[in-house]
Structure 1
Amino acid sequence: MKVRYVKLELILMKPSEVDIAMNIIDSAKKHLKEQGIDQWQTGYPDYECIKNDSMTNKGFFAVDNGNILGYLCIDFDGEPAYNNLNGTWSSDKDYVVVHRMAISENARGKNVSSQIFKLVEKMSADKGITNFRVDTDADNVKMQHILKKNGFIYRGTIWFDNSEKIAFDKQF
């Protein structure tokens, strides 16, 4: 049975909430390490990175009835690493990218990521952007499954955070 949070919404993080986001990120780092995934094990994302998300109005919480279920960065300014894709994007139009998505421990496995992607798509469509890009580590099989389940298509590899990442995109 899938749990669906019916009031899930994306709320802009306040500068005073960086510690809350870092707690979610740190829990996700631990979860990745427990699975033997090297992603996020070298410091990134760190406090300064998340603070910068807040200062640039790119940091968001996924919230259901006042409960924070996750954190993510939503960026409409482009990702420089994506300019050097070893592969081909489906479109060269403007795009939204999600970075640093982490789901709180109590919400993992409950379809929150898929619901977040739908909310990001709506936010993007409201801005006239229908191109969505994301990347992850090759070892992060769970995220790859979530991406494919949500219509993302593998497009190649990029270099980001001192390692090769696999890149996906989607048109909606």
Structure 2
Amino acid sequence: MQNELTMRRAEPEEAARVLEILEDGKRSIARFGIEQWQHGYPNLSSVEADLAQGACWVAEDEGGRLVGTLALRFDTDAEYTAPELTWLTPNENAAGEPTYAAIHRCATAAEALERGVMGFMFKAAEGIAAAAGRQSIRVDTHPGNHAMRSFLARQGFSELAPFELKTKDGTETDLTRIAYEKLVG
């Protein structure tokens, strides 16, 4: 399926479909019996915020159907400044700009599972990040999300350390995550 996919920024009118794909992701995560994404997050407001920042990306198949999504962020991620985290790259360059891109809120549509969608999207994101002058891509996941952890290892990400999310807004109840990073370029 990878050869039939394209990746592009999502359009505002695609928010509902992006949310449907994220809901498929929530159901996939639920099978692990962990709390990640099981209390309302991600939701329409997080999708709309990603769209407003130009951070919401989608994979589109040859028929024009959206089959995957991820948020590719280029701003400083406050969650990634935890003192217990030692990254492969510095958080900022001499100009105070982030040296990395971060991937968040990634999911594959249920009908496209096991077809290489997320591998295609991560590879495309690496190219986008490198073209933007970033040194790496950072991502995190719940320790119990074994499918994502295995995927990240296969994609060449280094597992770095566990940390606790700072955001305590009630949409996530189990705040432990594992940080990953991959050098790009």
TM over 0.5: yes
Q: 1:114 aligns with which of 116, 119, 137?
A: 119
Report the residue type matching 1:64 in the other structure: D
Does structure 1 conserve the Cα–Cα contact (< 8 Å) formed by 2:32 and 2:144?
no
Tell whether the 8 Å contact from 1:62 to 1:71 is kept in structure 2 after alignment: yes
SS in 1 for 2:72: strand
Aligned length: 169
The one-letter amino acid paired with 2:70 is L
1:85, distance to aligned residue in structure 2 (A): 4.8
Contact 1:28–1:104 (8 Å) recurs in 2: yes
| Aligned counterpart, 2:23 | 26
Q: Distance in 2 between matches of 1:120 and 1:64?
A: 17
AA in 2 matched with 1:55: A
Q: Distance in 1 between matches of 2:34 and 2:7?
A: 27
**Tell me, what secondary structure is at the counterpart of 2:134?**
coil
Partner of 1:159: 164
Q: Deviations over 1:60-117 (max 9, x none)?
A: 1111211211111000112111000523101105101110001000111222211111
For the residue of structure 1 that corresponds to 2:4, the secondary structure is coil
Give the secondary-structure state (helix, strand or coil) at the position aligned to 2:3. Answer: coil
Gaps of 5+ in 1: none
- Matched residue, 1:46: 43
Aligned equivalents of 1:85 and 1:70: distance in 2?
33
Paired residue for 2:172? Answer: none
Identify the residue that residue 148 of structure 1 maps to in structure 2: 153
Alpha-carbon offset, residue 43 of structure 1: 1.2
Tell me, what secondary structure is at the counterpart of 2:2?
Answer: coil
1:169 corresponding residue in structure 2: 181
Query: 1:85–1:157: 8 Å Cα contact kept in structure 2?
Result: no
- Cα distance between partner residues in 2 of 1:8 and 1:123: 16
Give the distance between the partners of 1:144 and 1:78, measured in 2 at CA.
Answer: 23
Structure 1 position 158, deviation (Å): 2.7
State yes or no: 1:127 paired with 2:140. no
Sequence identity, in percent? 28
Which protein is richer in strand relative to its size? 1
1:61 to 34, 58, 63: 58
Equivalents in 1 of 2:163, 2:78: separation in Å? 10
SS class of match (1:87) = coil
> 1:121–1:130: 8 Å Cα contact kept in structure 2?
no
Q: 1:96 aligns with which of 97, 101, 123?
A: 101
SS at match of 1:6: helix
Equivalent in the alignment of 1:11:
8
1:76 aligns with 2:57: no
Residue in structure 1 matched with residue 95 of structure 2 by the alignment: none
